[in-house]
């Protein structure tokens, strides 16, 4: 296997490892979200910790993606492949000489699988987070009796103002 293709496979392996860690963190985030919503069995700090880990892993994924992109462009240039990276990483791998294609194809398949798993987990996490916000909004409206004067600005841990909460007790009518 040529060094440039081996370098691409190494970059794909690093990106796969980061995506795998991100999927694991997203699974823990789901457990923390569900636990937090269900009678506070999970500590808020657990959710904060996993969210911070996801932020860090997302940054790492960006770095790994850039490295993969750079190495894929090098493969296209060095091997004078008839495709560009604009055609997609899968197209670049399909254009590799037959003896060098197998390992790269396996790595790209792993990436696609992990990406799909991550997308599904993030969708489920988003649904649970949205439902949690609806419950908070409903209780806020109930506690303040929907009076605008009773509303106060609520701040995050970092000092940013939170999104305005829905007022009115009718927001308690949600299906969870």
3-state SS of the chain? Answer: CCHHHHHHHHHHHHHHHHHHHHHHHHHHHHHHHHHHHCCCCCCHHHHHHHHHHHHHHHHHHHHHHHHHHHHHHHHHHHHCCCCCHHHCHHHHHHCCCHHHHHHHHHHHHHHHHHHHHHHHHHHHHHHHHHHHHHHHHHHHHHHHCCCHHHCCCCECCCCCECCCCCCCHHHHCCCC
- The pLDDT value recorded for residue 143 is 82
Residue 172, pLDDT above cutoff 50: no
Cα 42 to Cα 31: distance, rounded to the nearest angstrom: 8
- Model confidence pLDDT, tens digit, residues 86-137: 899 999 999 999 888 999 999 999 999 999 999 999 999 888 888 878 888 8
Q: Higher model confidence: residue 140 or residue 67?
A: 67
- The pLDDT value recorded for residue 170 is 47
Q: Higher model confidence: residue 173 or residue 103?
A: 103
Lowest mean pLDDT among 116-120, 141-145, 156-160, 169-173: 169-173
- Model confidence pLDDT, tens digit, residues 13-39: 999 999 999 999 999 988 887 776 555
Tally the domains of the chain: 1
Q: Domain range spanning residue 81? A: 3-172
3-state SS of 99-135? Answer: HHHHHHHHHHHHHHHHHHHHHHHHHHHHHHHHHHHHH
Whole-structure pTM value: 0.71
Q: Higher model confidence: residue 126 or residue 157?
A: 126
Average pLDDT, the chain: 83
- The pLDDT value recorded for residue 40 is 53
Question: For residues 92 and 50, is the Cβ–Cβ distance under 8 A?
Answer: no
């Amino acid at each position: 296997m040529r060094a440039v293709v081996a370098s691409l496979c190494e970059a794909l392996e690093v990106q796969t490892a980061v995506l795998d860690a991100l999927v694991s963190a997203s699974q823990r985030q789901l457990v923390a979200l569900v636990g937090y919503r269900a009678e506070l069995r999970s500590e808020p700090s657990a959710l904060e910790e996993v969210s911070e880990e996801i932020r860090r892993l997302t940054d790492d994924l960006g770095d790994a993606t850039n490295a993969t992109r750079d190495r894929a462009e090098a493969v296209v240039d060095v091997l004078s492949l008839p495709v560009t990276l604009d055609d997609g990483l899968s197209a670049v791998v399909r254009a590799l000489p037959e003896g060098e294609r197998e390992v790269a194809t396996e790595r790209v398949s792993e990436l696609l699988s992990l990406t799909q798993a991550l997308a599904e987990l993030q969708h489920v996490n988003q649904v649970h987070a949205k439902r949690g916000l609806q419950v908070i909004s409903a209780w806020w409206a109930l506690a303040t009796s929907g009076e605008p004067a009773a509303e106060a600005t609520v701040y995050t841990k970092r000092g940013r103002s939170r999104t305005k909460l829905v007022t009115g007790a009718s927001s308690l009518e949600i299906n969870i």
